[in-house]
Amino acid sequence: MYHTYVMGIDNSIFDLAKHGFLIREDGNNYTVSFPESKAELWEDFIKEHLEIEYWNEYLTEDKVIFIFHLENGFKRYEVNNYTNDEVLSLCEKLCDCKFESIKKMLSDNSFYKTIIK
């Protein structure tokens, strides 16, 4: 299963449940898990809902996929071993903060903490 944590999405996210997505509310946010075969559907959905200057990431078995919605469109990155200076820099720039690493940034989220080893 692939896993993501989503903020700022309306309840239309529950429409994905009929496609095999597991969606749980976490306050005003959502934890989402889905099979590999549904990754393209997830990316299409998140691109429709992601505001400019925000990003979403999802964890696969061996990498993290980042989708950024930038002023000039979408950028997609596949990050192996939680290491990519360009992705880390984009995350820091968009949220105006500093992260020790991509792995630390993600594992600070209680949902991801249970998945990241």
Distance of alpha carbon 9 from alpha carbon 60, whole angstroms: 21
Q: Domain-by-domain residue ranges, the chain?
A: 2-113
Cβ burial 52-70 (10 Å sphere, 16+ → b, else e): eebbbbbbeeeebbbbbbe
What average pLDDT does range 34-57 have in this prediction?
A: 97
Q: List, for residues 48-73, the tens digit of each pLDDT value.
A: 999 999 999 999 999 999 999 999 99
Q: Alpha carbon 70 to chain centroid distance?
A: 15
CB 65 within 8 A of CB 32: no
Distance from the first to the final alpha carbon of the chain: 15
Confidence band (pLDDT; 50, 70, 90) for 117? confident
91: number of Cβ within 10 Å: 20
Q: What is the mean pLDDT of the chain?
A: 95
Distance of alpha carbon 114 from alpha carbon 24, whole angstroms: 15
Q: pTM for the full model? A: 0.94
